[in-house]
Amino acid sequence: MPKQKLDEPLINLSDNHCHFHPEATIEQTLELAKALNDYQYEFPNKFFHLMTTQHIDLECMAVLLDKLENEDIVVPYFGVHPWFSHLFYTSNEKLNKLEHYNSVLSPPPSEELLNLLPEPISIIEHTSKMKDIIKRYNIEVFGIGEIGLDKLFRVPNAGFLGNPNYKNENEKDKLSTSRVKIDHQMNIFKYQLKLANDLQVQASIHCVKAHGILYDEVMKYSNIIVVLHSYTGSIDQARRWLKTKKSNLYFSLSNWINGEKEELLELLANTLNSSQILTESDTYIDKYFIEHKEGEYFNQLIGIFEKLNSYKPIDSLQLKTNMLNSLSIID
C-alpha cells in the first residue's frame, strides 16, 4: 500500500532535536526501524534530526541507518552530551580508571559508583567511529550534537543514565553527590566545537546555567552553524547572540521545555527573526514509535508550532526553509 502524505502543518515541520531513549538497545532500534518503515504516512526527508549522546546510542544510530528503507528521513548527529562527559577523555594518553574519575568528578566517586562506571573512553576513538559510520552509510548531511554545558547536572547512582549494567530498577534515577567539573565538561565541549568547526556543520547545543561561558566559547569558532536547542537562557543573553552572530544562528524550540515557559517564549517569538526559529520535540522517538504513540509525538511539534503562532504568525513553510538553511553555512 502506498504511504499517505502527512497533513499540514506537519508535512512542513521537522524535529530538529530528538533522541534515542538512554536505555535503548540494538533490539529496540531494530523495532524502531521497522515501525518507521511500516508507518502508514511518509516522512519528509530530513524530518528527524536525531542526536547521539554517548557510546551506546552511537551503535544504535549505525543500526538504524542500516535498517531504514529511506535513511534520508534522518539527519544523524554525533556528540557526547555533558551528562555523559565524565565517561570520556580527550588526551592521547589514557589515565587509569581511578585517576580519571577522581580528576573529573567532584567530589570524587564513592567506591560503589566507581565500580559502576566504565573504563574511560577516548573521545578521539569515539570520533573515528563516527567517521566510520559517515563513510559506511555515505552520509552527506549530518551534524554534531548533542553537546554543551550543564552546571546543574549530578552523576546518577547508576554511573550514567541508562547504564545497562545497573540492575537496581528502583534506584536507577537517583543521583549521587558527584558533579562533573565544569573544566572537564568544557574540554569535551571544546573538542567537539573544534570538530564541528573543522567539518563546517551545525552543532545542536545544550546549555543549563552556563549561558555566559558557553557563549564566550562558541563565539571563538566562526565556521559553526549554532543551533541552541530548547533555549532557556535570558532574553538579554539571546539578544547578545543575535547582535554578535548575524548568521548561522538558530533557536530550536520544544513544546515540553519552551512551551511551558510562556513568558520567555513570547519574548523569544517577538525578539527572534522568523528565519531563526526551528521546532523540535527533544523526546525519545524510539519510545513513541515502538509503542505506537505517534499522535502524542506529533502533538509535541504541532504544540510548539501553535504556541509560537499565538505570539506572532509563522508559516510552516518558513520553518521548513529554516531547517534546510540550518544545514549549510550561509556567508
- Positions in the binding site for Zn ion (CB under 5 A): 146, 282
Residues 61 and 133 sit within 8 Å (Cβ to Cβ): yes
Least spacing, CB of residue 51 vs Zn ion, in Å:
6
Least spacing, CB of residue 97 vs Zn ion, in Å:
28
Least spacing, CB of residue 253 vs Zn ion, in Å:
13
For 37, the grid coordinates are 518503515
Q: Return d(Cα 110, Cα 115) in angstroms, integer.
A: 9
Residues 228 and 254 sit within 8 Å (Cβ to Cβ): no
Give whole-number Cα distances, 227 to 1, 39, 199, in Å.
Answer: 38, 29, 15
Closer residue to Zn ion (CB): 88 or 101 = 88
Name the nearest CA neighbour of 196 among 66, 319, 83, 329: 329
Closer residue to Zn ion (CB): 101 or 153 = 153
Closer residue to Zn ion (CB): 256 or 311 = 256
Residues 86 and 55 sit within 8 Å (Cβ to Cβ): no
Closer residue to Zn ion (CB): 81 or 86 = 81
Q: Bridge partners of 77?
A: 143
Least spacing, CB of residue 20 vs Zn ion, in Å:
11
Closer residue to Zn ion (CB): 59 or 282 = 282
Tally the residues of the chain: 331
Give whole-number Cα distances, 6 to 13, 40, 278, 299, 321, in Å.
Answer: 10, 10, 19, 13, 18
Q: Which residues contact 93 (CB under 8 A, 6 or more apart)?
A: none
Least spacing, CB of residue 84 vs Zn ion, in Å:
12
Closer residue to Zn ion (CB): 56 or 116 = 56
